[in-house]
Structure formats: C-alpha cells, structure tokens
C-alpha cells in the first residue's frame, strides 16, 4: 500500500484532560469519563514525547501548505474525519467479542514519527471512530507541524453517528507531540469546513460558550488506554447526539528537529441505550484563571489552593489533575468540614498526568513523596462537602507566569473528573 490512509478515518472524541485551549491561550473544558474509560485506571503509559520546547518556542498560527484545503470525503456510517481510504483492513478476530485495544494494527508506514499510534476502527455496529489527520500523508498540509513549534488550535468535524448513541469505553491514540485533545460538541453548525483548522476555537477556553452540549472523549497524553467498568457503574454512560457539530481542540508541541504530524484516532464503543440508567457529570475546576491575572512572580515558590462546593450527595468516580512544566506537586482532598479533610489524589510529573478511578475494583497506588497515588474504593460525597486542590508552582523563568496554554511559558492548576449525583463545576478560580 502507498502512503495514503490505510484505514477508515473516524471522528469520535471524548473528554479527559484539563488543559483546554484556543487561540487566546485560555484553558478550555475537558470532560472526565466515567470509571472504566480509557486512562482512568492509574496505569497510563508515559507520553510519547520525552521533552518540551524551549521557552522561546513559537505559538504562531499554522501556515497553509499544499493539500491543506482538501475537502473532506464522504465516509460511511460509523466513520468521519479528514482522510480517505485505500482498503478496509480486516478486523482482528478478538475485536468481535467486545471493546479491545486496536492500536498498532494499521500497517501504516509514513515519514513521520508515531505510525504505531494508529487505531483500526471498531467493527461495524459495535462503535465508531473519529480520525483527525491528513488525507494524504505525502501532502499533509496544515497537519504537518514543524520543529520548535507549539500551538493549540481547533479542527471542525461532525460526529459520524446518524442516531443518538451511548458509550462507556473509548481509546484515544495520538502521535508524538500530543499534549492534550479536547473534543467539544455544539448545538449549532460549525463555521467553516470539516477537517480544517480554524482561526479561532468556538469556545474561548473556559467552557462558557452557551452552545456547548457536552464533551466527547479526549486526552491528557498521547495514548489514553481502554479501561474496564466496575459493577456499580454498569448502567453509567454518556450520550452522543446524532450528527453533532464538534471541534477538536489540539494542543501540540514539537521539541525535535524534525517535522511531526498533528493526528489522532478515537475509538468509541457503543453501549445499548436500554442498558444506561444514569449519566455522569463532568467535574471542572480551573485554578489560576482569575487568581493569576497579575501573573506568578519571577522566582516564586508558592502553593496555590482552590476549592469547589459539592451541592448534592453522590460519589466521585474519577479525578485528573493538570498543570504545566513549573508544577512540582498536585494534590486534592475531600473536605467534610470540622477538620475532616481526606487526601484523595496526588501527582507530580506534568508529563505523566494520571487519572485515578474510585470504584469497587480499582486498587490505586498508595501515596508517596515522589510518585502519583490516590485512595482506593468508592468515593462518596455529601451536600456541604468541598473538593479542594492545590498546586505547588516554582517559576524559574525570568518573566511572570500567566494562565496560558503553553507548556513552558504558561501555567494552570486544573482539576477534572466525573461524578454521579452532584455537579461540581468551578470554571473561574
């Protein structure tokens, strides 16, 4: 086969991460999936990239190159995206039994790093794939990403499902250079064509656009693995409305001396609507948006703390902390008042963000002074409790740090997750 696409592209995105983006540098809304979703078991592999750009790295818009304006081809039900196909690959037999990882099975051979990240799509009727990437690898256009670049830009797409669907499990796999992927669904059509980078994301980065429906699965690192579902979450799911206008917010950086591709594949595995008894709520706490308006001073060595109220009884099913290269520790607690505070989450390395699940089958690693950890078991909460978190930030640059979507030149202290019952949402802290 040639260098063209070897699989049916698809467009299915879901949440995760907490670093959002847009051209204005603000962080946007990522949604944490229910337990059992990819990246929630605390065993995420390290990201593909092993370095970050220099502080002087660029954040300039993408320059159009030949092939950038190639229209999106029609694709069959269950697939959507920017690419075409040469042949439809045969599904591995084990994929027919249910959700499994389909990573590294595409026989893809391009001149760019990360071909092993390619996912085969789920079997027809079992799920759908969302693929964002070039139609022709020999002429990748806007998807090619040059040395030293860093940017956070959005691509339009429409979900490929022709009727409403539910899901519990997903797998998202991106090429080297993927910092985060945030996929957002909207109630009105996208401006511009699908498969093209746009000059400005529809949401300013804080999840406050009134046309937002919800988030699709996303990523906090290049590969978000498929997970398992705890018994108490068997009826828990998320809905994707039919043919929904969406945008993929793609934060990429290239610390190497060779070009990369901005590209990812997202497999979403369907769950029958008759099996869904409740839907999870997104947890969102965006620390630093307001409190850092004056910047984090040069030489600062400060612990910043934040709190979000819990208004109803229920349980937290997952948490994910997110900061950038100046963060040295991220910790979270459930505060029940009267000095009853329980640490539930901790991480250190910004290159290895960890999403922990709180359920009856997951054993999280214990807390330690240098490695991520969390409590294990179901995490019940009550009205009047608070979700508290803090970030230890050291500014070793010669300029103040601000809340921006830059790995080295900006910072943030964002708490993401999912809950059943209460809505825990604090976007401007």
Task: Provide DSSP, 238-290.
Answer: EEE-TT-EEEEEEEEE--SSS-EE--EEEEEEEE-GGG--EEPEEEEEEETTT
Give the mean model confidence (pLDDT) for residues 330-339: 90
Query: Is the pLDDT at 49 greater than 90, yes or no?
Result: no
CATH number, domain with residue 345: 2.60.120.230
Q: CA–CA separation, 71 vs 195, rounded Å?
A: 8
Residue ending a domain, choose from 247, 279, 311 = 279
pLDDT tens-digit map of 179-197: 889 899 999 999 888 998 9
299, 269: one domain:
no
Q: Report the domain count for the chain.
A: 2
- Would you state the pLDDT for residue 38? 31
Q: CA–CA separation, 293 vs 302, rounded Å?
A: 15
Q: How many other β-carbons are positioned within 10 Å of the β-carbon of residue 340?
A: 9
Give the mean model confidence (pLDDT) for residues 54-62: 30
Do the domain assignments include residue 71?
no
Q: What percent of the chain has pLDDT over 70?
A: 77
406, 323: one domain:
yes
Give residues with Cβ within 8 angstroms of 105, minimum separation 6.
89, 92, 118, 119, 120
Note down the domain range covering 177. Answer: 79-279
Do the domain assignments include residue 64?
no
Confidence at 404, pLDDT banded by 50, 70, 90: confident
- Would you state the pLDDT for residue 96? 57
- Would you state the pLDDT for residue 282? 86
Paired with 394 in beta bridges are 301
Query: Is the pLDDT at 139 greater than 60, yes or no?
Result: yes
91, 133: one domain:
yes
Taking CA atoms, 249 is separated from 28, 288, 397, in Å, by 9, 20, 27
Give residues with Cβ within 8 angstroms of 110, minimum separation 6.
3, 137, 261
Helix (H, G, I), strand (E, B) or coil at 393: strand
Residue ending a domain, choose from 260, 279, 298 = 279
Residue ending a domain, choose from 228, 245, 279 = 279
For the chain, the helix, strand and coil percentages under 3-state DSSP, each to the nearest 5: 5, 35, 60
- Would you state the pLDDT for residue 263? 98
338, 217: one domain:
no
Q: CA–CA separation, 220 vs 109, rounded Å?
A: 26
CB 222 within 8 A of CB 355: no
Confidence at 219, pLDDT banded by 50, 70, 90: confident
Query: Is the pLDDT at 198 greater than 60, yes or no?
Result: yes
250, 289: one domain:
no
For the ranges 56-65, 328-337, 398-407, 418-427, the one whose mean pLDDT is highest: 328-337
């Amino acid at each position: 086969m040639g260098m063209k696409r070897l699989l049916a592209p698809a467009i299915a995105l879901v949440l995760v991460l907490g670093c959002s983006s847009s051209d204005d540098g603000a962080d946007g809304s990522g949604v944490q999936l229910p337990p059992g979703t990819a990246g929630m078991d605390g065993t995420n592999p390290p990201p593909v990239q092993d370095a970050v750009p220099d502080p002087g790295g660029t954040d300039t818009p993408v320059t159009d190159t030949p092939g950038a304006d190639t229209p999106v081809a029609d694709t069959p039900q269950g697939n959507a995206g920017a690419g075409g196909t040469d042949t439809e690959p045969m599904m591995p037999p084990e994929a027919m039994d249910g959700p499994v990882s389909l990573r590294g099975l595409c026989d893809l051979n391009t001149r760019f790093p990360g071909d092993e990240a390619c996912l085969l799509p789920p079997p027809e009727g079992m799920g759908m794939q969302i693929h964002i990437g070039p139609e022709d690898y020999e002429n990748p256009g806007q998807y090619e990403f040059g040395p030293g670049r860093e940017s956070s830009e959005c691509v339009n797409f429409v979900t490929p499902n022709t009727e409403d669907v539910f899901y519990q499990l997903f797998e998202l796999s991106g090429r080297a250079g993927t910092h985060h992927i945030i996929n957002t669904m909207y109630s009105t059509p996208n401006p511009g064509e699908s498969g093209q980078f746009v000059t400005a994301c529809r949401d300013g980065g804080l999840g406050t656009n009134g046309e937002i429906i919800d988030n699709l699965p996303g990523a906090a690192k290049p590969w978000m693995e498929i997970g398992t579902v705890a018994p108490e979450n068997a009826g828990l799911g998320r809905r994707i409305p039919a043919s929904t206008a969406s945008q993929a917010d793609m934060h990429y950086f290239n610390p190497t001396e060779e070009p990369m591709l901005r590209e990812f594949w997202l497999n979403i595995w369907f769950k029958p609507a008759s099996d869904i008894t409740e839907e999870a709520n997104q947890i969102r706490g965006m620390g630093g948006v307001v409190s850092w308006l004056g910047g984090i001073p040069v030489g600062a060595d400060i612990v910043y703390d934040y709190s979000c109220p819990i208004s109803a009884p229920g349980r937290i099913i997952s948490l994910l902390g997110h900061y950038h290269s100046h963060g040295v520790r991220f910790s979270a607690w459930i505060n029940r008042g009267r000095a009853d505070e329980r640490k539930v989450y901790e991480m250190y390395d910004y290159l290895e963000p960890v999403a922990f699940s709180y359920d009856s089958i997951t054993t999280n690693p214990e807390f330690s002074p240098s490695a991520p950890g969390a409590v294990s078991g179901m995490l019940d909460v009550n009205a009047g409790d608070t979700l508290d978190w803090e970030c230890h930030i050291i500014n070793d640059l010669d300029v103040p740090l601000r809340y921006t979507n830059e790995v080295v030149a900006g910072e943030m202290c964002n708490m993401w997750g999912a809950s059943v019952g209460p809505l825990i949402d604090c976007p401007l802290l």
